[in-house]
Structure 1
Amino acid sequence: MPGHLLPALLLAALLASCASFTEHAPAPVETAASLGLPDSPQPPVSPEWWRALNDAKLDALIDTALAKSPDLAAVAARLRQAEAGARLADSQGGVKIGLNAGGAFVHRDGLGGGDKSRLATDLEHRLFGEHGVNIGYESLQLQGQWSPDIFGKYRHQLEAALGQQRAVEYERAQTRLLIAQGVAAYYRQWQMLLEQRQIVEKRFQINRERERVVRELIRAGQLAPSRLYAVQQGNSRFQTALSDLDANTAQVRHALAALTGQQAQALDNFIPNAAAAVPQPPVSQLSADLLGKRPDLAAQREGLMARRHLVQSAKTEFYPNITIKGLAGLANLEIGHLPASKSFTAAVLPSVSLPIFTSGALRANLSKKEAEFDEQAARYNKNVYTALREAADALTQYEAAAASVREQSEMTALARKNAAAAKSRWQSGLDNKLDYLAAQDETLQNESQLSQAQTKLFTAWLALNTAFGGGFEAGGGQ
């Protein structure tokens, strides 16, 4: 048999005896096509959706929160870890070169005892000296190693690492979205509490005026004294309501300060602007493909794809691993007065390693990776269904809240007309002032309900922006 055929035959025999695995059908992953979702090239929501409110104070609070958020700082640190992991994975398939230098020095007083002839002693002194022998050794080697990625092991590991990096980038976009949503929600709640306080103060003033009128009517003998008790109870209820509103406002103020990375009392002198009308969202465009428009789903999908590459990498463990090593170096040996020995060495050392019998370790590792992928796929599909439900619910809640605001606006307008008519009747002497004050109070109650309805509409608008991704677009550098 010709000598050059022996390596090829050995390699063929080794490949034939490699460990084998059974193909596993991965769990299905929901896509826009499988769900029948229409695709849209642009996100339906602006990336900075809160600026549509035209509230400079809110913009400043959100900017501060995004700049100081510990959650974003933690995600940034995780992103640096993921980037380092990707660079590490990328380095596995490259050529590795190192320089190795070493040496040794040994001194020995004599080469041995015993009786020696004069000639032998003289020769020893000439070669090694009268005071012993010095032995020195130095070496310098340049070493290299390369493992060609024939079966894609390093490529899949790199793709998995890059997928994890993208997943963290999308998690950062999701964190920014939730921070902006939280700041806007607290800010609007603060505005509503201030509106409610103004309304309660006006109702308190009306009730004190009612008390004054009732006292006059009691003195005139037109009302029984017991009619005063209910009015006085109303005063106590209004005082309690004002105290509760102040306490709730303080809690919201402290929570907003913490969310924007400030001490609890930092916003004590801060007064939010009056609440503006909620912008009209692009309802007709809110049926776009959520799978690429929500950062949380995009992050989960990248993590899922990373696990798929880890499965492929685990399969390559069943194939041979080829490594090519090379070295080149200089060595110098000196012993006493003997001539120095200098040498140059160069070598190329290819090697092939492959699994044959691994007691099931490779199959167990592959099965573990496949099961992890299937579990993550099931979780991802569940989250997709949840996201679709959240989007549908957010749209329904927004439409219901908008209808409630319209209805409450009409009721408030009617209450104001009734209060104006009651004032006219009182001034004309057709009704007493108590009827007019009651109509005024009813108007304020309707304004209070309108304020609450508008806050619910704002909350629904926030949920709508979040449920549809908050302007996120995969690969858009969020």
Structure 2
Amino acid sequence: MQTQIVQQGRGIRAMKVGLSAILVAVLSACVNYAGIHSDKQMAQPQQFQTTQSLPAESGHWPAADWADQFGDAQLKALIDEALKGSPTIAQARARIAAAQAYTETAKASTMPSVNADYSLKREQFSGTALVPPPYGGSWQTENSGLLSASYDLDLWGKNREALKASISDLQATEADAEVVKLTLTTTIARTYNQLARLYVLRDIAQQEVERRQDIDRITAGRIATGLDTEVERKTAQANLATARSTVSALDGSILTTRYQLAALMGEGPDRGLTIARPTLGVGDEVRLPDNLPADLVSRRPDIVAARWRVDSITHEVKEAKAEFYPDINLSAAIGLDAFGFGRFLTAASRTASAGPAIHLPIFDAGALRAQLKGRYADFDSAVATYNQTLITALSDVATQLAQIHSSDAQLADAQAAQQAARQADDLAITQYKGGLTNQLTVLNADMNALQADQSVANLLMNRRDQQIALASALGGGYVDTSSDATHTAASAATSNPVVAAR
């Protein structure tokens, strides 16, 4: 008896060895992905030299309400209104909803499916075919009801990887929505600052009109005393008309800028007519936060979106690789099938089936390999996009900081020049009244004073515009709030994505 058991054991082992050999032979003859891989890697912020251009200054990251630093309640109200009514925000929300639907679809593929079918048909069967008499050659009513279930075992994780890819796509889409939000709020703030600039330039232009009126009056008096001629009078009148034209041009620019703000808020142009003159302040002190390059990757929504897309395509690569392995699908069905109604609900009409279905790609003319190559090409592109996004982000921060420092340095000299030009203009007019100088000297001094006033105004507005742009470059208060588990998985994949993708 023991000898018989030993012999049976040897037979089973021999059968297993034989089946294994057959399986290995079959798999070796099947399509495979040998030689297809990627050597691309995601850049790390620490690998870029930023210590001089982005110094640690113990500053703070911008908050979500970063625009409040300028102390203008109207700007805050405009931004809030835009976030509620702008079509661009609605588009971003729709894209998130679509990504959520795709994720739910991918999740459904990892679960069993159950279906119920019923059919009723009236059919005349052939008397010379498969159906014998008495049914052959007669009309019959066939009732058929079937309850079926199927489940893909997903031994190689194809469906699971598709689900992970869709989740990462959803995370990327949500980060994209934050990019849209940040872009919109930044554009509104900068356009609002442009409106403030136009108002200040209009004030300067109006002051210039008043000065040119004074020159015209002085010239008229000098003509009466024989010190000037009609040439100087016409010159003064021409300059006065030019100054008034500048005011009109600025009024037109103010109006169009209001219309632009209304469009950004998702409203009609009449909404822009109700926008009052801005009352923007200087804003907070500009200091960069510590550990900026490393922390920026979770503070900039465009970097976060790019990172999630690398993670998504990493899973798509794994999904494409799973296509090379056998698919095993379990299915079962039970139902009733009968001619007529009387026997439909009887035990004799019962039908049932169950069993596995196996699909193994053996020859596909290179379709699966081409598909995998495409996924790797997408992976390389996503990695390159991430790296470029990171480089651009670091450059944005450094550029805005450099421009702010440059504006600060220019402003001191521009204000000194403005004071000197204004004193020279006042002195020239005094001398012109007293007959000690000519009109050309006055006009030159006046033009210098006008340019100095405009230069200071533009520097102040540029500096605030750069400060707004810096807050945007630092993420505008965004922080990646992905779930810890998903975020950890994504970080593990993206910290060495080549290993994950292979």
Q: Deviations over 1:185-221 (max 9, x none)?
A: 1111111111111111111111111211122122123
Q: Tell me if the contact between 2:428 and 2:437 (Cα under 8 Å) persists in the aligned partners.
A: no
**Residue number among 158, 163, 170 corresponding to 1:153 in the alignment:** 158
Q: Distance in 2 between matches of 1:347 and 1:6?
A: 28
Q: Name the counterpart of 1:222.
A: 227
Q: Distance in 1 between matches of 2:153 and 2:180?
A: 40
1:352 equivalent in alignment to 2:369: no
Rate the CA distance shift 1:401–1:285 in 2: closer, same or farther, 3 A. Answer: farther
Q: Deviations over 1:93-112 (max 9, x none)?
A: 1110111223455699xx99
1:182 equivalent in alignment to 2:187: yes
Shift of 1:475: 2.2
Q: Name the counterpart of 1:204.
A: 209
1:460 equivalent in alignment to 2:460: no
**Residue number among 322, 325, 335 corresponding to 1:329 in the alignment:** 335
Q: Distance in 2 between matches of 1:55 and 1:217?
A: 48
Which consecutive residues of structure 1, in runs of 5 or more, have no partner in the other structure?
A: 113-123
Q: Distance in 2 between matches of 1:447 and 1:66?
A: 36
Q: Distance in 2 between matches of 1:12 and 1:101?
A: 45
Which consecutive residues of structure 2, in runs of 5 or more, have no partner in the other structure?
A: 1-7, 484-502
1:169 equivalent in alignment to 2:174: yes
Shift of 1:473: 1.5
Q: Distance in 2 between matches of 1:8 and 1:83?
A: 47
Q: Name the counterpart of 1:101.
A: 118
Q: Name the counterpart of 2:98.
A: 81
**Residue number among 40, 43, 56 corresponding to 2:73 in the alignment:** 56
Rate the CA distance shift 1:218–1:141 in 2: closer, same or farther, 3 A. Answer: same
Q: Distance in 2 between matches of 1:201 and 1:336?
A: 99
Q: Deviations over 1:24-59 (max 9, x none)?
A: 13412112344477999x982212211211211111
Q: Distance in 1 between matches of 2:20 and 2:332?
A: 21
Shift of 1:422: 8.5
1:283 equivalent in alignment to 2:288: yes
Q: Distance in 2 between matches of 1:104 and 1:269?
A: 69
Q: Deviations over 1:65-106 (max 9, x none)?
A: 222222221121111111111111111111101112234556
Shift of 1:62: 1.4
Q: Tell me if the contact between 2:325 and 2:361 (Cα under 8 Å) persists in the aligned partners.
A: yes
Q: Tell me if the contact between 1:43 and 1:293 (Cα under 8 Å) persists in the aligned partners.
A: no
1:67 equivalent in alignment to 2:76: no
Q: Distance in 2 between matches of 1:58 and 1:340?
A: 76
Q: Deviations over 1:5-29 (max 9, x none)?
A: 8689547623542232124134121
TM-score by length of 1: 0.83
Q: Give 3-state SS (helix, strand or coil) of 1:292's partner.
A: coil
Q: Distance in 1 between matches of 2:346 and 2:270?
A: 81
1:313 equivalent in alignment to 2:330: no
Q: Tell me if the contact between 1:181 and 1:462 (Cα under 8 Å) persists in the aligned partners.
A: yes
Count of residues in Structure 1 that have an aligned counterpart in Structure 2: 456
Rate the CA distance shift 1:335–1:409 in 2: closer, same or farther, 3 A. Answer: closer
Letter in 2 for 1:473: V
Q: Tell me if the contact between 2:115 and 2:149 (Cα under 8 Å) persists in the aligned partners.
A: yes
Rate the CA distance shift 1:100–1:8 in 2: closer, same or farther, 3 A. Answer: farther
Q: Distance in 1 between matches of 2:14 and 2:65?
A: 68
Q: Distance in 1 between matches of 2:424 and 2:144?
A: 104
1:44 equivalent in alignment to 2:70: no
Q: Tell me if the contact between 2:302 and 2:389 (Cα under 8 Å) persists in the aligned partners.
A: no
Q: Tell me if the contact between 2:209 and 2:243 (Cα under 8 Å) persists in the aligned partners.
A: yes
Q: Name the counterpart of 1:25.
A: 38
Q: Tell me if the contact between 2:74 and 2:278 (Cα under 8 Å) persists in the aligned partners.
A: yes
Rate the CA distance shift 1:403–1:133 in 2: closer, same or farther, 3 A. Answer: same
Q: Tell me if the contact between 2:60 and 2:289 (Cα under 8 Å) persists in the aligned partners.
A: no
Rate the CA distance shift 1:220–1:354 in 2: closer, same or farther, 3 A. Answer: same
Where does 1:292-311 land on structure 2 (aligned, <5 Å)? 292-311=298-317
Q: Tell me if the contact between 1:167 and 1:303 (Cα under 8 Å) persists in the aligned partners.
A: yes
Q: Deviations over 1:238-286 (max 9, x none)?
A: 0221122122222212212211112223322432233321332333448
Q: Distance in 1 between matches of 2:48 and 2:364?
A: 43
Q: Name the counterpart of 1:121.
A: none
Q: Give 3-state SS (helix, strand or coil) of 2:146's partner.
A: strand
Q: Give 3-state SS (helix, strand or coil) of 2:119's partner.
A: strand
Letter in 1 for 2:112: V
Rate the CA distance shift 1:346–1:336 in 2: closer, same or farther, 3 A. Answer: closer
TM-score by length of 2: 0.79
Q: Name the counterpart of 1:249.
A: 254
Rate the CA distance shift 1:442–1:361 in 2: closer, same or farther, 3 A. Answer: closer
1:142 equivalent in alignment to 2:120: no
Q: Distance in 2 between matches of 1:366 and 1:454?
A: 55
Letter in 2 for 1:241: T
Rate the CA distance shift 1:136–1:261 in 2: closer, same or farther, 3 A. Answer: closer
Q: Give 3-state SS (helix, strand or coil) of 2:200's partner.
A: helix
Q: Tell me if the contact between 2:60 and 2:287 (Cα under 8 Å) persists in the aligned partners.
A: no
Letter in 2 for 1:66: L
1:472 equivalent in alignment to 2:478: yes
Letter in 2 for 1:17: V
Q: Distance in 2 between matches of 1:438 and 1:20?
A: 82
Q: Tell me if the contact between 2:333 and 2:353 (Cα under 8 Å) persists in the aligned partners.
A: yes
